[in-house]
Amino acid sequence: MPSKSLLGSRILKLCLVCRQNKTKCDAAATRPHPCTYCSKKNLVCVFDVTKPSQRSYDLTEKLVAEVLELHLKLDHIVESKNRLVRQILKKAPSTPATPLDMMGVLVSSDSESDTNEPTGPAYIDPIPTLSLADSFAIHSNLAVEPWTISYDRALFLLQNFKDNFLPYLPVLPELFFENPNLHEIHKQSDLLFWSIMVTSLLNQNLPGEYQTLARHVQNLVVVSCWFNTPRSLYCLVTLLILTTWPLPDDRSPKVQSNISVKYISLMKSLSLQFGLHKLDFISEFSKKTDLQVAQKPDVNDKMRERIYKFVNINSNYWLVFLGLSNSNYNGFHQDYIINKSANIDIFNKDAFESTDNFINSLLKISLIQLKMNESMNDVVESSNKMSKLIHLNMFEQILSDFSKKNSTPLVKDDLIDMSLEFSKLQLYIYYFSQVDISLDEYKNVIYRAVNCCSAILDLFTRSFGTVENFNQVPMHYRFGIELASLVLLDIHSSPLLRLLDDYTFVKLKFLQAYSFLSKCNGDGMTSTNRLLKIIHKFEECDKRKLLALRSKEKSFFLINKMSNYLISGLHYELIWHVYQTERYDCDDIAQIDWSLFGLNPKSPQHQGIINYVCDSSSIFA
């Protein structure tokens, strides 16, 4: 019903001349004679009666009616979608749902391709997620079938995340998990909701479901963080979750294509955009940004500070492990909060909760790795080997001071000890390349590296020995096992150990590391699976050819090719060894100079080591 005009029903009675000139007209009183104005001007007075125009008010009413009609149509579309999803959920398992049934749209023919092959452009649904009365659905990638979950199972996975994953990444308050309303969580951030679901599936032994949901979540990140402007702190929490337990990545194995690197760059930018580095002046930042994760202001401040610290921790771990320079890569530098936490708060444990003390210790270790990585990056290409050795000795002394039981500012925890041993192992890998060092000194470094790998494996066994899926381990501790396995494998293939029993010990420790790596639940797109392929490929190559090559180059160093490798280069070094041995001439195998490695074939003890290293049997035998 259109509303009455605000001007009432008043009728205008005036002549055309007065109306045109906007003058006062008395034509109604002087009729049939001209009005006073027309009489004075000797003009023809034409009397007219009209009703005021209501065009502006009619236009407003028309727009309101159109908006109401659009709302009704949208409600009808949403209800139709919900009805389709309910029908799909009621279908028998023998008649699985299709993307066409789920969202009412045509699916690209790319969806019929092998899911193990790298996909092309992502196909993203306009409405990628749904929150229904008793279930949730996601279909952000039209090349993959829709994935649905009941309310009760989602509640179980949320609790599973709280119990088994949140302790390693405490960036959400306890209140978030107390009597949770999943519909409200989904409404606040569907991206956070689904990232929790996919991460919680890691310890459920359901690799097929995990891979399907992971591909949807990967596209949902694009929708929420690239197509749209992130406005909620929950987006940053999501990126932390997905860089602590990274999604499978079917892209190129090149570093610049690694999806975790893209997430790191994004969450760094978001942390500055949200003003997390300026907690005291956070009100100066965008009013449109939701920076609340809890109702209490003090809890909010604590959570925001933890989030910001983990942004730095995850960034440092990933970029160092991948061989990238933190500051040179995207211009991110330390600030007051990071320096205070790592250099002041770490010495005042009594003033903070145990969780914050743990985070400060992990942050401190990550900063040491960062500084070591950047310093060695500057000297690794230098022809002055003595300069490199000075830097190595300096960082080794720093790490040794942190390892002292009584004077270290780090908290007493197996995970912190494991992280510190991981940093030491990184340093020993720098020793593996060309430095100004004798053979005996080099062998001492080899043994220190073996002891470091052994310590990492023992600490890992105490903390994660019962884990059934290696991918559910946070990347801060997963990296240590991956690196230790490569180091032990390379050392086992070299004639640099002094006793045969030492080779037996290295083999046992490698097999222990391999037993952890092989627990991947059939997920073929993770970095761990790529690492396993490198290990098996290296084991298949002829070790005698490798020793002949080192003898020809007059070098006993384990790393010769990757002079600018940094930490990630150990992967590429093994690949380079495989490539070399495949194209090397077999006639030169007998020319191995065993004295280069400190061995004398005439010595029975040394001959036993020579025979063991040249044995063609696999380390898995």
| pLDDT tens figures, 475-514 | 999 999 999 999 999 999 889 999 999 999 999 999 999 9
Mean pLDDT of 60-86: 76
Residue 105 has pLDDT above 50, yes or no: no
| Residue given tokens 């580095």 in the structure block | 277
Instruction: Give the residue with greater pLDDT, 429 vs 8.
Output: 429
Which pLDDT score, from 0 to 100, does residue 103 have? 33
Mean per-residue pLDDT of the chain: 80
Q: pLDDT tens across 435-448, in order?
A: 778 889 889 999 99
- Cβ-proximal residues to 54 (8 Å cutoff; 6+ apart), any chain: 5, 7
pLDDT digits 0-9 by tens, 307-360: 999 999 999 998 888 777 655 444 445 678 888 888 888 988 888 899 999 999
Per the CB < 8 A criterion, the answer to whether 565 and 575 are in contact is no
Lowest mean per-residue pLDDT among 37-41, 110-114, 127-131, 436-440? 110-114
Of 300, 404, 410, 405, nearest in space to 366 by CA: 410
Query: Per residue in 45-70, pLDDT tens?
Result: 888 777 655 555 567 778 888 888 88
pLDDT band at 285 (very low <50, low <70, confident <90, very high): low
Q: Which sequence spans correspond to the domains of the chain?
A: 10-50, 131-447, 455-615
On whether the 10-50 domain is CATH 4.10.240.10, my answer is: yes
How confident is the model at residue 93, as a pLDDT?
Answer: 43
* SS3 annotation, 147-214: EEEEHHHHHHHHHHHHHHCHHHCCCCCHHHHCCCCHHHHHHHCHHHHHHHHHHHHHHCCCHHHHHHHH
Q: In what order do the strands lie in the sheet with 129-131?
A: 129-131, 135-138, 147-150
Supply the pLDDT for residue 516. 93
| Confidence at residue 326, expressed as pLDDT on a 0 to 100 scale | 56
Q: Collapse the DSSP code of 376 into the 3-class scheme (helix H, G, I; strand E, B; otherwise coil) and give the result.
A: helix
Q: What are 510-547's pLDDT values in tens digits?
A: 999 999 998 876 555 567 778 888 888 888 887 888 88
Write down the pLDDT at residue 63.
82
Quote the pLDDT of residue 404: 77
In this structure, of 100-104, 289-293, 333-337, the range with the lowest mean pLDDT score is 100-104
pLDDT at 362 over 50: yes
What pLDDT shows up at residue 381?
A: 64
- Residue 37 contacts residue 23 (beta carbons within 8 Å): yes
The answer to whether residue 252 scores a pLDDT higher than 70 is no
Mean pLDDT score, 22-42: 86
Q: Which two tokens stand for residue 590?
A: 């007998």
**AA letter at 586:** C
Contact 476, 313 (CB under 8 A): yes
Percent of the chain with pLDDT over 90: 28
Q: Are 193 and 329 in contact (CB under 8 A)?
A: no
